[in-house]
């Protein structure tokens, strides 16, 4: 792909997975000796690179010096399952075991099911279970439990399948245990059937299977997720588990979700009063919620309380604290928390690494984020994932740095990480910012072939880039082509198109036609749509139409935002309806929905200077200052121009006296 001079090669192709073929056994050199099973097992365990371990496994399979055993198969399958990279190779290993007559134990089959579970492939786990007897293994309650857990953990809703598997289990004469019931409770709560989960608790007891703390915690947490926190608290008391830490933690999460922070602290104090010490999960939930809502100081206070009570912090607590500080723009303190985490001996995981990277990139420190990624690539225990690379590519895309984004993309591919739709969309963004529209479109087109189809967000990013680059007609064609990719334009698509059409010459008529088309199709317009239309009319000198659009906006129940107010105040000021503009702004800012915006006030001052005179402008300036609204350079420019227009009536010294005396 062609790039501008000085740029690195862009968008390397993803390396194909190593084909898994066990060639037929060949003769070793005459002086080869049998290799002990222990040596092979240790070598496979110690090799951190799963691809190299697989190559070594294949090499031994062709050697007469060693014949793979149930142990070495188990180690290799477990390693493949944990990597999520060579997951397909597990199937071929099982086939090879069947061919060689190597028995498949219960533990090994569970290892296979767990591998599919970690990869989110519950259906694959189910298909493998149907073939269990081919590998010389019989279904057991333990195997059924892991299969059910894999199905529950899958992203897709397979509740009906879970019920069928459970009935099949009972049909084979296998008696469910507490683990089985806990998985079923989890499935019921995940699917919003909390009342059914409560009934299952009763059934458990009737069948002689006593619910444990996991059972009760699952049900209480399900109630809290459904917004039934008070009912959950009553249920905990009814079950007699209100002093179980995990149950209390579920209640803490539910209260935090509803913003009932006072009750959270009350519950935690009540726990201490009953001899139940809050654990790291309790504090982590509170700190995470406080960080999300911007209460950074309070989150630090809770962190300090946790440390004073001797509760050791974990990586989740530090991740939440860092996130809160980054969102508050306190980058230095967030980095200090990272250092404190390392000093405390807490090993970072990929989540906290990605939190650090996201915070650095959001605050413009992309080069520092790249340095952190360098450290991750050298750490065998915590390798970068697609979110890691996606975060950095997005950071470069936000800065319009194509070279940096391209280099990170190539590193990602070289490390064997498959790009997802998020990182592809970021690359489309940065390509458009560099006016490389053809390359951006080719990337979108290739996403389908790579099994990563573009979403409406991808197309909206491309359409926005085209419109900003003045290629509005191309953007219109792309919107028409989206359906062929399985996507449909949404309101953001139309907003970008309207903005582009209003911004180019000869685009006004098409913009009006698009608006009429949206109204005929009864597409629900949002505040951004109305603001775009009003701004488009305003830029074409159609002030009266702007006010008509505002009326339509209010009639349809769409709430104006700060941008709406700025546009309308400016239009009223241009029309000379300054008194009306003042009343309107006072009305909007009287409530708590809008903060005073210096842009709107500057427009008003311009209108006052033009239509009412400089004396009225000084009065309004004093009103602004009394309300804590301070002028910016644009505001002062408006006032200075107003004063100089008054020079025919007042002397320069008098003007300066007025400025200094009144402002």
Distance of alpha carbon 235 from alpha carbon 250, whole angstroms? 12
What's the pLDDT at 2?
Answer: 34
350-362 vs 331-343: helix crossing angle, rounded to 10: 160
What's the pLDDT at 378?
Answer: 84
Contact, 426 vs 395, CB < 8 A?
A: no
Q: Alpha helix locations (H) across 469-576?
A: 472-481, 491-503, 508-520, 527-539, 543-555, 562-574
Distance of alpha carbon 472 from alpha carbon 474, whole angstroms? 5
Secondary structure class of 511 (helix, strand, coil): helix
Distance of alpha carbon 287 from alpha carbon 289, whole angstroms? 6
What's the pLDDT at 27?
Answer: 37
Per residue, what are the HEC states of 484-505? HHCCCCCHHHHHHHHHHHHHCC
168 Cα distance to chain centroid: 38
Instruction: Find all residues with CB under 8 Å of 432, minimum gap 6, and list them.
Output: 440, 461, 462, 464, 465, 466, 468, 469
What's the pLDDT at 29?
Answer: 45
C-alpha distances in Å from residue 451, one per residue of 77, 127, 446, 491:
25, 22, 9, 26
Contact, 119 vs 154, CB < 8 A?
A: no
C-alpha distances in Å from residue 40, one per residue of 60, 76, 96:
9, 11, 18
Contact, 535 vs 503, CB < 8 A?
A: no
- From first CA to last CA, the distance across the chain in angstroms is 59
Contact, 22 vs 96, CB < 8 A?
A: yes
pTM over cut 0.85? no
What's the pLDDT at 22?
Answer: 44
Q: With residue 506 as reference, give the H or E element that holds it.
A: none
- Give 209-231 pLDDT, tens digit per residue: 999 999 999 999 999 999 999 99
The per-residue pLDDT of the chain, averaged, comes to 88
Query: In the chain, what is the greatest distance between 2 CA atoms, to the nearest angstrom?
Result: 113
DSSP state of 42: H
Distance of alpha carbon 568 from alpha carbon 561, whole angstroms? 11
Distance of alpha carbon 537 from alpha carbon 512, whole angstroms? 10
| Per-residue buried b or exposed e for 298-336, using 16+ beta carbons within 10 Å of the residue's own CB | bbbebbeebeeeebebbbbbbbbbbbbbbbeebbebbbe
What's the pLDDT at 155?
Answer: 61
CA neighbours closer than 13 Å in the CB half-sphere of residue 647:
5
What's the pLDDT at 6?
Answer: 43
- Neighbouring CB atoms inside 10 A of 343's CB total 8
Distance of alpha carbon 75 from alpha carbon 79, whole angstroms? 6
- Give 70-88 pLDDT, tens digit per residue: 999 999 999 888 876 667 7
Pairs from 176-179 (Cβ < 8 Å, separation ≥ 24): 176/141, 176/207, 176/209, 177/141, 177/145, 177/209, 178/204, 178/209, 178/210, 178/211, 178/212, 178/214, 178/215, 179/145
Nearest to 370 by CA among 321, 403, 416: 403
Distance of alpha carbon 273 from alpha carbon 265, whole angstroms? 12
Q: Alpha helix locations (H) across 131-278?
A: 141-153, 159-171, 178-190, 194-206, 213-225, 229-239, 245-257, 261-273
Q: With residue 559 as reference, give the H or E element that holds it.
A: none
Residue segments in the chain with a per-residue pLDDT below the cut of 50: 1-9, 15-31, 650-653, 655-656, 659-660, 663
């Amino acid at each position: 792909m062609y790039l501008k001079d000085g740029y690195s090669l862009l968008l390397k192709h993803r390396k194909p997975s190593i084909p898994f073929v066990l060639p037929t056994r060949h003769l070793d050199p005459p002086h080869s000796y049998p290799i002990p099973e222990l040596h092979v097992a240790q070598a496979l365990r110690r090799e951190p690179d799963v691809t190299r371990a697989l190559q070594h496994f294949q090499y031994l399979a062709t050697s007469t010096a060693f014949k793979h055993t149930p142990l070495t198969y188990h180690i290799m399958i477990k390693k493949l399952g944990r990597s999520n990279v060579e997951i397909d190779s597990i199937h071929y290993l099982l086939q090879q075991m069947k061919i060689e007559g190597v028995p498949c134990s219960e533990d090994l089959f569970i290892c296979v099911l767990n591998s599919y579970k970690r990869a989110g492939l519950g259906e694959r786990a189910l298909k493998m279970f149907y073939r269990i007897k081919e590998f010389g293994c019989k279904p057991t309650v333990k195997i059924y439990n892991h299969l059910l857990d894999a199905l529950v953990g899958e992203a897709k809703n397979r509740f009906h399948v879970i019920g069928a598997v459970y009935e099949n289990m009972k049909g084979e004469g296998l008696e469910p245990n507490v683990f089985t019931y806990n998985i079923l409770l989890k499935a019921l709560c995940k699917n919003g059937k909390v009342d059914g989960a409560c009934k299952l608790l009763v059934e458990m007891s009737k069948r002689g299977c006593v619910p444990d703390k996991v059972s009760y915690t699952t049900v209480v947490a399900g109630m809290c997720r459904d917004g039934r926190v008070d009912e959950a608290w009553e249920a905990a008391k009814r079950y007699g588990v209100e002093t179980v830490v995990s149950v209390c933690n579920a209640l803490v999460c539910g209260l935090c979700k509803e913003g009932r922070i006072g009750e959270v602290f009350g519950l935690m104090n009540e726990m201490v009063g009953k001899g139940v010490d809050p654990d790291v999960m309790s504090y982590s939930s509170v700190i995470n919620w406080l960080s999300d809502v911007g209460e950074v100081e309070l989150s630090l206070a809770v962190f300090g309380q946790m440390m004073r009570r001797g509760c050791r912090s974990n990586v989740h607590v530090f991740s939440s604290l860092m996130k809160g500080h980054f969102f508050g723009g306190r980058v230095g303190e967030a980095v200090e928390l990272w250092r404190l985490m390392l000093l405390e001996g807490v090993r970072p995981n990929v989540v906290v690494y990605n939190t650090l990277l996201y915070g650095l990139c959001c605050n413009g420190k992309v080069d520092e984020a790249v340095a952190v990624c360098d450290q991750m690539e050298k750490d065998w225990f915590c390798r970068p994932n697609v979110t890691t690379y996606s975060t950095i590519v997005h950071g470069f895309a936000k800065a319009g740095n194509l070279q940096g984004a391209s280099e990170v993309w190539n590193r990602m591919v070289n490390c064997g990480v498959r790009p997802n739709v998020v990182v592809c969309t970021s690359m489309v963004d940065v390509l458009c910012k560099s006016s490389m529209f053809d390359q951006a479109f080719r990337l979108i087109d290739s996403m389908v072939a790579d099994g990563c189809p573009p979403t409406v967000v991808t197309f909206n990013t491309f359409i926005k880039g085209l419109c900003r680059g003045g290629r509005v007609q191309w953007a219109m064609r792309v919107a028409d082509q989206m359906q062929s990719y399985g996507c449909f334009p949404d309101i953001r698509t139309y907003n970008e198109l309207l903005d582009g059409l209003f911004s180019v010459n000869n685009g006004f008529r098409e913009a009006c036609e698009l608006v009429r088309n949206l109204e005929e199709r009864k597409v629900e317009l949002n505040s951004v749509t109305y603001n775009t239309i009003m701004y488009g009319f305003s830029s074409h000198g159609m002030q009266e139409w702007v006010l008509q659009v505002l009326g339509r906006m209010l009639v349809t129940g769409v709430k104006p935002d700060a941008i709406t107010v700025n546009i309308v105040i400016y239009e009223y000021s241009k029309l000379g309806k300054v008194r009306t503009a003042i009343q309107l702004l006072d009305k909007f800012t009287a409530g708590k929905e809008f903060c005073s915006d210096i842009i709107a006030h500057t427009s008003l001052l311009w209108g006052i200077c033009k239509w009412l005179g400089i004396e009225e402008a000084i009065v309004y300036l004093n009103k602004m200052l009394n309300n804590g609204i301070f002028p910016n350079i644009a505001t002062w420019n408006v006032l200075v121009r107003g004063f100089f227009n008054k020079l025919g009536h007042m002397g320069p010294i008098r003007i300066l006296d007025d400025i200094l005396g009144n402002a």
